[in-house]
Amino acid sequence: MRLAALQQKNGLILHDADSLSDACASHQLSSPTHPLSTALFEAAYWRTRHLVVGEAPGRGSSLFLQARDDEQWVLRPYQRGGLIAKLSQQRYVWLGVERTRAFREVRLTAALYEQGLPVPRPVACCVTRFGLTYEAALLTVRIPGARALASLLTNGEADEALLKRVGAMIKRFHQAGLDHVDLNARNILVDETGKPWLIDLDRCRLRPPGKWQASNLQRLERSVVKFAPSQVENLMAPLYAGYADAV
């Protein structure tokens, strides 16, 4: 798949348009009277068809969807946090479609995916404008059997070899120029084979090398403290070793 596969239509941007169309047809969501639309990004649409198979913890309340017999998707609405969420939890200021958080994230995720970096394959995103504000949601392919590093840390299941792989993975992203502004143990997933993946690229960007790389690692270390406070040094040492040794 190439970046040329990105197709923009109205308030949607599709990464794998053919795949999305096939999935819609299999669920009878695409027809002359009901074409591909923003409804795909609404939880109610999937719930009424009994295709919601799970829900991720967190502010955004991401849903796991049975998009195909052999593939699940993650539907993630964009949600605000902090004090500003009291004013509006889902609305963002409209500055043009190309500056929306959803379009920026799906383009960045697609670019990294095309480089062979371990990010979930993006399916599509949707932006709905309401005058001076907008709401947005993102669809990505769910990584089968993946668990958050946070869960593995809490349960004492993160061994030295895994942490070295995590460090090496982060180094690969840094070499590609990715500044992950929310690098924490919840945004690192580990699949059934022990391969680490990086998720949630909202507000992230590509940058030249700089102090931000060390800041990313420091942020991750603060996250590790929350989930395994008594083991931080033992856990971070192999992670830093994997980061340093990565080519």
Whether 23 and 85 map to the same domain: the answer is yes
Domain end, chosen from 89, 106, 141, is at 141
Q: How far apart are CA 235 and CA 163, in angstroms?
A: 7
Pairing of strands 205-206, 178-179: antiparallel
Whether 132 and 82 map to the same domain: the answer is yes
Instruction: Quote the pTM value.
Output: 0.85
Whether 43 and 131 map to the same domain: the answer is yes
Domain end, chosen from 111, 141, 171, is at 141
Annotated catalytic residue, options 182, 191, 200, 245: 182
| pLDDT at residue number 78 | 94
pLDDT range class, residue 118, cuts 50, 70, 90: very high
pLDDT in tens, 167-184: 999 999 999 999 999 999
| pLDDT at residue number 68 | 85
97, 49, 77: which is closest to 140 by C-alpha? Answer: 77
Q: How far apart are CA 77 and CA 97, in angstroms?
A: 16
Whether 45 and 119 map to the same domain: the answer is yes
Whether 8 and 74 map to the same domain: the answer is yes
235, 223, 63: which is closest to 164 by C-alpha? Answer: 235
Q: What is the mean pLDDT of the chain?
A: 85
Residue 182 annotated as catalytic: yes
Whether 9 and 130 map to the same domain: the answer is yes
Whether 10 and 129 map to the same domain: the answer is yes
Phi and psi, residue 153, nearest 5°: -65, -45
Whether 55 and 169 map to the same domain: the answer is no
Whether 119 and 151 map to the same domain: the answer is no
| pLDDT at residue number 90 | 82
pLDDT in tens, 201-217: 999 999 999 999 999 99
Region class of 174: left (phi > 0), else alpha (psi between -120 and 50), else beta: alpha
pLDDT in tens, 18-62: 444 444 444 434 433 324 668 889 999 999 999 999 998 765 579
Supply the range of the domain harboring residue 197.
Answer: 147-245
Average pLDDT of the residues in 129-135: 91
247 or 74: which carries more pLDDT confidence?
A: 74
Whether 10 and 123 map to the same domain: the answer is yes
